[in-house]
Amino acid sequence: MAAPMSTEKSLNKKTLKYVVLGHLLSTSALLALVYVSLNGILEIDIISYPLNSIKVLMTFCLIIHGCLHFFIGSIKWQKQRLGLWIKDVLKCFLIFSISVMFFHCVAILFGAPFAQKSAETFHFAMILSTTTVAPLIIHLWTDFDAWFRVIIFQSPDIGIESMLNISFITSILGAWLGALPVPLDWDRPWQVWPITCVIGTLLGHCVGMMISSIYTCTQFNKRNKYKLT
């Protein structure tokens, strides 16, 4: 079995290319997914079947991040004892479920119905966790130093970590902004809780990934300049 070891610190031009390309590809995949779900193509119709489509969206989001990790991930897996590995898995699962509970509570505090629609609220919390915490789990596994760099200290390394940092913030911002169209009196079917917030979350995530690829490029160029002089 395997466990993560050290993170790769030096960033060369080739990996940069991969990182940026990977980000852009996953962004476009997610955007396509959002488009599909909004228009009810392929029977993923977020307006008629919100719960099922949220599940589908969530799975795809996980798969996309999984692929991203598989191709450009920086963790080197090592052989490890089975018991420790199971412990790590449990840890990650615990963190994920705590984050779902946390987001569920926050959604209720922000005004989501308390008793009714709890399935919808739960699914919203799941998708928000999928775009914020799940990428951290996938890319960083149990490297909690890196977790803290990304979430608390706001000083991630350039590359995957900065992507995680930026998309973490933009996903939450997207979910927050997604609540804005709800009070409008247009009486559209998509104004129902939690559709706008789910879409907001995913769009925020995509925007975050895009920004992070631009950010990575600019940072890389700056560093190279310093190295040359």
List residues near another protein by CB under 8 A: 9, 91, 106, 108-111, 114, 144-145, 148-149, 152-155, 176, 179, 182-186, 222-223, 226-227
Closer residue to another protein in complex, CB, 77/148: 148
Q: Tell me the closest approach of the beta carbon of residue 209 to another protein, in angstroms.
A: 18
Residue 4, SS3 per DSSP: strand
Closer residue to another protein in complex, CB, 61/207: 207
Q: Tell me the closest approach of the beta carbon of residue 213 to another protein, in angstroms.
A: 17
Whole-angstrom Cα distance, residue 42 to residue 219? 40
Q: Tell me the closest approach of the beta carbon of residue 28 to another protein, in angstroms.
A: 27
Q: Tell me the closest approach of the beta carbon of residue 106 to another protein, in angstroms.
A: 7
Whole-angstrom Cα distance, residue 88 to residue 94? 10
Which H/E stretch holds residue 78? strand 77-79
Closer residue to another protein in complex, CB, 12/154: 154
The length of the chain in residues reads 229
Whole-angstrom Cα distance, residue 10 to residue 226? 14
Whole-angstrom Cα distance, residue 205 to residue 207? 5
Closer residue to another protein in complex, CB, 11/68: 11
Per DSSP, 111 falls in state T
Q: Tell me the closest approach of the beta carbon of residue 7 to another protein, in angstroms.
A: 10
Closer residue to another protein in complex, CB, 82/152: 152
Whole-angstrom Cα distance, residue 110 to residue 131? 19
